[in-house]
Amino acid sequence: MIRLNVFIQVGAEKRQEVVALSKELVAASLKDNGCVAYDLFESATRPDVLMICETWRDAESLSAHEQAAHFTALVPKIQELAAMKLEKFNF
């Protein structure tokens, strides 16, 4: 399995838009083949930090997700509004 932790840092003026786009991404991604878990978290201590936590069955599932229409449409929009950092773990 593959776990991705995607940290998103966003200013207050763009936060609501990023949250809305992220929720749309989560809802669509949960339907992707091989998606074990996909969730959005908000920091309890830093209002400028969000995290998307993803778990994928295998590399093929993750690759298909990264090519899906919802991913290619929504992730660039989030990247325009916020800074993103990715951590990847195989287990």
Mean pLDDT of the chain: 98
Q: How much is the pLDDT for 24?
A: 98
Over residues 31-38, the mean pLDDT reads: 98
Q: How much is the pLDDT for 74?
A: 98
Distance CA 64, CA 34 (A): 9
Q: How much is the pLDDT for 63?
A: 98
Over residues 35-60, the mean pLDDT reads: 98
Confidence of residue 12 (pLDDT cuts 50, 70, 90): very high
